[in-house]
Structure 1
Amino acid sequence: MPEQTMFTMGDIACAEGALHAGCRYFGGYPITPATEIAERMSQRMPEIGGSYVQYEDEIASITSVIGASWTGTKSMTATSGPGVSLMNESIGLAVMTETPLVLVNIMRGAPSTGQPTRGQQGDVMQAKWGSHGDYQIIALTPASVQEMFDQTVKAFNLAEKYRVPVFVLADETVGHMRERLVIPDKDDIEIVNRKKPTVDPSEYLPFKPDEDQIPPMAVFGSEYQFYATGLTHDERGYPTDAEDVQMQLITRLNHKILDHMDDIVEVEEFMLDDADIALIAYGTPSRSGRKAIREVREEGIKAGMLRLKTVWPFPEDIVANLASEVEHIIVAEQNMGQIYHMVRGPAAPTPIHLMQKPTGMPQLPSEIIAKIEEIDSI
């Protein structure tokens, strides 16, 4: 298919990104402001031989996605914060069984029912710590309609490569904004598929990792017979309470992500070469930040921005290096300050200033300009 250009909203771009990445199963329950993703999938899946199922709730949705993935099908769901709250137990199951899947969260006002038609970034910590236990997750934070497509493709590639659930975290503004979307020629879209076992079925150990710490993944119903469980398990998949097995398993589940951060983490630097003041932002606030920095530069203020396109795993080393080169850091978020707490550790002792805005409305360029000017006058 040749390159296509359309004017569309972020949610639609996300759905198209999933389809172009090879997603052929969507299990979900409509919820504002992610409903347009489900609606688009319900229209497009039958056209390409995929499956769309609307379930009775989010618990059924996420468990169906786990099951579909084990049939060898690239699978996803889409929801908002309240839906993720219901899915968290099964997200832990997907982590433990090393099930590739993509979970899109179009973040809205919270807590509880909150503001269904307004945007926040209040689910960032939920994505990382929502389920119980020690584990790593991957979470991408698009800031435009184009990135809703591109980052969804990347989410599938990372899920398949590392056998892990991957979040696409977009605030409602990004999900519902309309912009130009360019869908590349299919030959120009990088596609990653999960590793499959090559050993004789009699020798197959479903959770025995390769050198990269990731096991090849067989398909239910194939000649490879195996057992998958959320219980602590050995390389055969059989439950065990052996301390050494638990230690090895949890260590591997964490380090298969942490040891590949250079491949996973993506950030964007904007006018940081000579900056004295650095803004750290992601999603919609980074759009306002870009305009604000251009304007304060015209005033002679040396400001720049580190835009986080990946929030989990958190790029601590990148933040630490930035902190060593600037005099002040501003963290702008549409919440009470979540990534702010992640910045404080690696950035110390550089002064960190929080711009919090949990009102459901994005930070304005004028608000960021005022904060930069205030700090510059210190």
Structure 2
Amino acid sequence: MERKISIEQTLCRGCNLCVEMCPKKVFEDGEEISPEGFKLKKVANPTKCTGCKLCELFCPGAINLKIEEKETPSYSPRLRLGRGGPPEARLARGGWRETKNPLTPGKYFWQGNKAVVEAALACGCRFFAGYPITPANEILEEMAKRMKVVDGVMVQAEDEIAAISMILGASWAGLKAITATSGPGFALMQENLSLADMTETPCVVVDVQRAGPSTGQPTRPGAMDMREVRYGSHGAIQRIVLYPESVQELYDLTIKAFNLSERFRTPVILLSDAYLAHLSESVEIKEKIDAFDRIYIPGEPPFGPTPDFSTPSMPRFGDGEFLSITGSTHDKLGARSTADSGIQEELISHLQNKIIKQKEELVDCEELFLNDAKIVVVAFGTVGRSAKWAVREARKRGKKVGFLRPRIVYPFPADKIKELSGKVRKFVVPEMNQGQMFYVVREKISREVVSLPQPNGQIIDPRRILKYLLGEGW
């Protein structure tokens, strides 16, 4: 991109706003004096311009900024990432890599919150910021111990708003970053999660759910944030949300959350709950893991759509790129454009399409006994443990019942549900809330959908689900 800046001297009024407001000090006092007796301004450092257009905003008459796109390089550095090609391609970085686990491979007996910490460190996370809140406290405590071992940074922030702000900044500094909270803290993070969506900032947020609303029951499990994680922020967004059912899956899906976050340049939410966070189970870790690092290609625009709906290049502070990062509507360079309807539509379509157009990569479900099922139990997270037992027991008693558990909750696997609806009679959705995901399932199909809600801060007894499947009520 080439930027051309000019000042119409006859319209300059000497207000000095261009000098004071430009973050890159592009403007300064000139030598010429106006008839009114003030120094006219001049463009002193045009190469430092980032294209943020603050100058035009404060002085729309006198200052004129033109941005011209250069022709896209003919090589394909995304395919090479440093393996041949011109110098620009060899400077590129990112993509898949195999990395050695910092721990000795084998089996460990971990609490759920501990598994999250070890998985984050294994895939390269080196920044954590958080604020103490039950039942996520052990993540913060473990990060305080472990980050210094791997030369990382752990910050106990003054509140959850500061914590989410810090991980966004750390991400733009080139670090994989994570925070952990529970429902009340997650509510405070919503505004900056929306900023992360708009600025395409990769990060991971762990929401260890508890019974709510408000303070609720801090030590009791719940699945109270199932809709908030998807629809809490304003604006047209797509969210990637994962919800494991075991400590092993907490470990595995934490790594997956980081890979998806870096791959799609978006915040990823990892759901847990008070039960799973404090459950201790055996976890098997491997010697090496596959980790994805965000792609950077020098000179490539850091925002906006790409021809194949892939994620744009992401430089970091210090790479020498002129970065403008804003929550306002912006073009491919990050320059604000709050009145251009075309740029607004292009940007929002890109934020949607980079996930929707590749949703096949985002389907991850556990499926049991679906071939002959007439009733399918759809469960999420910890409730899947109870539901799975109930389904197996019901089949022992001759009931044709199947089981479906999306590990990736959002984007919701609507195609899978629609496919099943063609051959099953009924869907049953047990939840540790008053039926939040029941509505999500029901809106996708025309079959009967039954909600089995339990918002009392307790794990659903598998015998309650079995009782319903045997026709004895809820």
If the length of structure 1 is used for normalisation, what is the TM-score?
0.96
Partner of 2:314: 217
Query: Is 1:311 aligned to residue 413 of structure 2?
Result: no
One-letter identity of the residue aligned with 2:411 = P
Query: Is 1:13 aligned to residue 115 of structure 2?
Result: yes
Deviations 1:296-337 (A, max 9, x none): 111101111100101111111111111212111100111001
Partner of 1:371: 468
Within 2, Cα distance between the matches of 1:35 and 1:118?
14
Deviations 1:221-266 (A, max 9, x none): 2211210100000111011120000001001101111111110121
For the 8 Å contact 1:75–1:102, the answer to whether it is kept is yes
Deviations 1:172-193 (A, max 9, x none): 11111110011211x2x11001
One-letter identity of the residue aligned with 1:191 = A
1:190 counterpart (290, 303, 308)? 290
1:230 counterpart (327, 335, 358)? 327
Q: State the SS of the aligned residue for 1:110.
A: coil
One-letter identity of the residue aligned with 2:152 = G
One-letter identity of the residue aligned with 1:294 = R
Partner of 2:276: 174
Partner of 2:421: 323
One-letter identity of the residue aligned with 1:80 = S
One-letter identity of the residue aligned with 2:138 = E
Within 2, Cα distance between the matches of 1:212 and 1:154?
21
Answer 1 or 2: which has greater helix percent: 1
Within 1, Cα distance between the matches of 2:440 and 2:423?
18
Q: State the SS of the aligned residue for 2:336.
A: coil
Q: Unmatched 5+ residue regions in structure 2?
A: 1-100
Partner of 2:254: 152
Deviations 1:21-67 (A, max 9, x none): 11000000011000111111110000001000001100000000000
Within 1, Cα distance between the matches of 2:443 and 2:263?
30
Partner of 1:207: 303
One-letter identity of the residue aligned with 2:221 = G
Within 1, Cα distance between the matches of 2:309 and 2:329?
21
Partner of 1:259: 357
2:124 counterpart (18, 22, 26)? 22
Query: Is 1:35 aligned to residue 137 of structure 2?
Result: yes
One-letter identity of the residue aligned with 1:278 = V
For the 8 Å contact 2:194–2:234, the answer to whether it is kept is yes
Partner of 2:438: 340
One-letter identity of the residue aligned with 1:97 = T
How many equivalent pairs are there? Answer: 369
Query: Is 1:249 aligned to residue 351 of structure 2?
Result: no
Partner of 1:81: 183
Partner of 1:354: 451
1:141 counterpart (243, 247, 251)? 243
Using the TM superposition, name which of 228-237 and 204-213 deviates more: 204-213
Higher RCO by CA contacts (8 Å cutoff, separation 6 or greater): 1
Within 1, Cα distance between the matches of 2:178 and 2:409?
20
Matches within 5 A, 1:82-101: 82-101=184-203
Within 2, Cα distance between the matches of 1:289 and 1:208?
42
For the 8 Å contact 2:305–2:347, the answer to whether it is kept is no
Q: State the SS of the aligned residue for 1:213.
A: coil
Deviations 1:74-131 (A, max 9, x none): 0000000000110000000000000000000000010000010001101011101111
For the 8 Å contact 2:304–2:346, the answer to whether it is kept is no
One-letter identity of the residue aligned with 1:222 = D
Partner of 2:377: 279
One-letter identity of the residue aligned with 2:368 = F
Within 1, Cα distance between the matches of 2:302 and 2:360?
27
One-letter identity of the residue aligned with 1:27 = A
Using the TM superposition, name which of 98-107 and 11-20 deviates more: 11-20
Aligned-residue Cα RMSD (Å) equals 1.2
One-letter identity of the residue aligned with 1:161 = R
For the 8 Å contact 1:268–1:306, the answer to whether it is kept is yes
If the length of structure 2 is used for normalisation, what is the TM-score?
0.76
Identical-residue share of aligned pairs (%): 42
Within 2, Cα distance between the matches of 1:276 and 1:264?
26
Q: How many Å apart are 1:208 and its aligned residue?
A: 4.3
Q: Answer with 1 or 2: which has the greater Rg.
A: 2
Q: How many Å apart are 1:20 and its aligned residue?
A: 0.7
Partner of 2:97: none
Q: How many Å apart are 1:220 and its aligned residue?
A: 0.8
